Each structure stands twice: as structure tokens, then as C-alpha cells.
Amino acid sequence: MPKKPTEKGMGKEDIKLQTPKGMRDLIGEEYYRYQGFFEKASEVAIYYGFQPIETPILESEGLFYHSVGAHTDIIEKELYTLRTKGGDRLALRPEGTAPIMRAYFEHGLQSQPQPVMLYYHGPFFRHDSPQKGRYRELRQFGLEVIGSSKSITDALVIRLVNTILTEAGLPDLTIEINSIGDRDCRPIWKRELVNYYRKHAKEICADCRERLKDNPLRLLDCKNPKCQTLKIAAPSVISYLCTGCKQHFKEVLECLEAMNITYTINNNLVRGLDYYSRTVFEISMAPAEGEADGLPLALAGGGRYDYLSRALGSKKQVPAVGVAIGADRVLAAPGVANLLPRLIKKPKIFFIQLGTEAKMKSLSIIEILRHTKTPIAHSLSKDSLSAQLGIAEKVNIPYAMILGQKEVIDNTVIIRDMRSRAQNVVKLDELANYLKTLKA
């Protein structure tokens, strides 16, 4: 039963005026930084023919169990779940790939020309331990190419994420790539890996003993110093890849080389989601000097997921590949560009009004300015000339437009050049043309 407002934890005295742990408000400049980044990333995606998609924040809980995998950290430890009043079990989406595959089938996108290429951005939720670069509400920009098994599509998503991050001002990127095989060759490698780790079960950490039972590939992901030596000698996937997987991997690497994209093969890269097959990759930046944990934080990760369609109940196998960029990490990275959204224009004119009549006419004059697409700033709630001029000086806007009692009667405004302090009286019906002559 839902608590009543009088019950413990629900009274007014229990209200905390703060966001839940690991979640943040984005206000003003910070909001624009996210918007600017998503705009830049979308621009690149649109150029390459991707279409936008937005899926709900809530999805059925089962969708993630059968895609991300029941024994992954995301599902076992981090999924936010809820039961609706009607009894449905829903989850706050922890990632975007499974919902997009769901949407692909729900909307019959398999009958469109393939591959279907989709981009998205928005908030995702993982009940992780909040720390630098790790939030419970995280924001991603993602790309999914659904309906092609060709290696060029793997290279395409790697290329695009590389382009987006470079154009966001982050040129020192490390691309780690691996192939984790397909359903023919992976089970053989997995068996060898399990045999190897079983022999050394006493030497591995407690988490790895769990992994050995539930999710053996994640043994290769362990960061515990105790497990590092064993990892080096563990059976490497590369020796077990079948001819098809080997060929696919070779082609992806050749495409990257043809585009002069530098990469590192990391045979221990397995990724934390179960739906991958063949190509997996992560892009990171080296930590800044003196950073505590010394491990590079992944800015983006992705890979091929040829079996996800089947895992979600489709009879037909629909091969696909994609990537998601962690926008929070990108925007916190040293050197990231301040990409302002197109919507935001630097104000050219500071609008100043003096007296009651002028204040009343202000909004109509601001509308004239809006129609001429002249970006302005104002302080309509202020009354005195000095207070308003003071703000105009501080924000470094090149012109002020002054509307006083006399100007209201004469249907004019005064335009003042804030640098030279020269002033001109301009008739309202000539204002639009006059504004075009002003240099920014």
C-alpha cells in the first residue's frame, strides 16, 4: 500500500530539498552544454543517414533480463524496478539498445529498407555507487544500425563515435577493440576459460568465484590486483575464433586502418552486457595526471549484437551493431569543447526601459527585435537607468537600446554603442532596417 502523507518518511519534515543520490539538476549553462553536445552528435548522425528515435523511460522489466542478461551487474545490482498499481513490473531503462530493438519489432521496421539506422539521447538509470563519472542517472548519446551483418557497419559506428568525440574537443582517444566470437566458437572458448579458472579457483577473488558460476566472460574484466596474473595466462579468445568471426574481425580492423583510426586490440575486453557477439569496443581517455584510480574511464562503448533479436523472441535473426557515448563523462573530460546549442545566440543588444509607459511598451518592442532575429538581453524588472546600464556593461553586450518616456511619445528608441558611447535616435518603423547595419 502506498504510504499516506502522514506516515514516517512521507511527512513534510521528511522532505529533503535535494535530488536523489547520484542524480543531478541541469540548469542554465550546464543544460546548454549537454544540449550543445547532443546537437553536435545528432548533426553527425543525421549527416550519415541516421533517424531519431525516443523510447519511454520505463520499459517492462523482462526486456532487460532477456537482453542485458540476468547475471550482469546492470541487472543484478543496478536495475531500478517498480510495480505499477495495475501490477505491471516495469524498470527504469538502464540502457537504450534493448528498448530500440523492441521498438524495431513493435513498429515493423524490418519491412523498411535495411539497415535501419537510429540515433537517440536521453537519461538512463543504474543504481551504481555514485562517484566521479558514475551517476545513477546518466545521459547517453547512442547509435544503432539494425539489419546488417557487414563489417563496414561496425567500422561506421566506431568512425562516428570517434568523429563526435574528436569534434567535441577530445582528440587523445584510445580505442580498444576485441572480438568475442559467435555462437559457434564462443562456447568452446568459454569452456576453456571456465576449465582454466576452475583449476585456479582458490587464487581468485570472491567476485570472480561468483563470475565463474554465472558469467565467466566477466572474469576477464576483473580489476582486482589478485586476479591480474591469472588473467594474463587465461585462454585468449583470438585463438578460438571461427573462420567467419576471424574474417569479420579482420575486415573491421582493415576498415579502421583505411580510415587512419588507431586502435588497440584488447583480448580481455568483454563488456558488461550479455547481448554482444563478435565486435566489442570501448573508447576512453587516459586519466589526468594524479587522478586517483589510474584506470581510464570509458567515454563510450558498444559492439555487435546479432542475437539480441532472438533473445527478445523474434523468429528471425536480425544482425545489428551500435554504440553509446556517456555524455556526463564527455562533458566532464578535460579539454572538452563548450558546444553551445544553435538556439543560444550571444546577445547583441541590451534593452533598457525607463518609466511606466516605456515598461508597458517594452514587450511589443522586444517582439519587433525577435522578428528581426536580433538576440537581446534585458532586465525588465529593474527600473533605474544606472542599474540597467550597469548590467549591460558587465555582460559585455555591444549595444544598448533605450526606451524612455520621450521615445514612447515619439515612437523612437535610442541605440547606444557601448564601446564608443555614440547614440542614435531611431524611428520604430525603421528599427528593423537599422538593426541590420549594426556590427556585432
Scan residues 143-162 and list those touching ligand HAM (CB under 6 A): 144
β-strand pairing of 81-83 with 264-265: unpaired
Scan residues 79-108 and list those touching ligand HAM (CB under 6 A): 95-97
Q: Is 17 exposed, middle or buried (0-12, 13-18, 19+ CB in 10 A)?
A: exposed
CA nearest 182: which of 266, 306, 93? 306
Minimum CB separation of residue 194 from ligand HAM in Å reads 24
152: enclosing H helix or E strand? helix 151-167
- Among residues 36, 69, 147, 302, the one that binds ligand HAM under rule CB under 6 A: 302
Nearer to ligand HAM, 128 or 417 (CB): 128
Query: Site mask, ligand HAM, residues 372-411, x = CB under 6 A?
Result: ----------------------------------------
Minimum CB separation of residue 205 from ligand HAM in Å reads 22
The CA distance from 121 to 325, in Å, is: 9
- Among residues 329, 348, 361, 416, the one that binds ligand HAM under rule CB under 6 A: 329
Q: Which stretch binds ligand HAM (CB under 6 A): 23-31, 39-47, 127-135, 169-177?
A: 127-135
β-strand pairing of 81-83 with 89-92: antiparallel
Query: Site mask, ligand HAM, residues 177-216, x = CB under 6 A?
Result: ----------------------------------------
Nearer to ligand HAM, 80 or 196 (CB): 80
CA nearest 285: which of 402, 390, 168, 182? 168
Minimum CB separation of residue 295 from ligand HAM in Å reads 13
The 10 Å Cβ neighbour count of residue 4 is: 8
Give CA separation, 34 vs 164, 200, 416, in Å: 13, 46, 35
Q: Residues in contact with ligand HAM, total (CB under 6 A)?
A: 27
Nearer to ligand HAM, 199 or 223 (CB): 223
Strands in 137-146's sheet, in edge-to-edge order, are 51-52, 116-125, 137-146, 320-326, 297-304, 277-285, 173-179, 264-265
Nearer to ligand HAM, 68 or 415 (CB): 68
Residue 318 half-sphere exposure toward CB, CA atoms < 13 A: 25
- Among residues 99, 115, 303, 347, the one that binds ligand HAM under rule CB under 6 A: 303
The CA distance from 37 to 331, in Å, is: 8
Nearer to ligand HAM, 305 or 350 (CB): 305
* Cβ-proximal residues to 7 (8 Å cutoff; 6+ apart), any chain: none
Minimum CB separation of residue 155 from ligand HAM in Å reads 15
Q: Which stretch binds ligand HAM (CB under 6 A): 101-109, 247-255, 301-309, 341-349?
A: 301-309
Nearer to ligand HAM, 126 or 348 (CB): 126
Contact flag: residue 328 with ligand HAM (CB under 6 A): yes
* Cβ-proximal residues to 86 (8 Å cutoff; 6+ apart), any chain: none
Scan residues 27-46 and list those touching ligand HAM (CB under 6 A): none
Residue 39 corresponds to which amino acid?
A: E
Nearer to ligand HAM, 118 or 354 (CB): 118
The CA distance from 343 to 340, in Å, is: 8
Q: Is the peptide bond preceding residue 99 cis, with omega within 30 degrees of 0?
A: no
Q: Where are the alpha helices (DSSP H) in 10-72?
A: 29-47, 61-64
Residue of closest CB approach to ligand HAM: 326
* Cβ-proximal residues to 427 (8 Å cutoff; 6+ apart), any chain: 411, 412
Contact flag: residue 326 with ligand HAM (CB under 6 A): yes
- Among residues 147, 235, 322, 347, the one that binds ligand HAM under rule CB under 6 A: 322
Minimum CB separation of residue 322 from ligand HAM in Å reads 3
* Footprint of ligand HAM (CB under 6 A): 95-97, 126, 128, 133-135, 138, 140, 142, 144, 272-273, 298-303, 305, 322-324, 326, 328-329
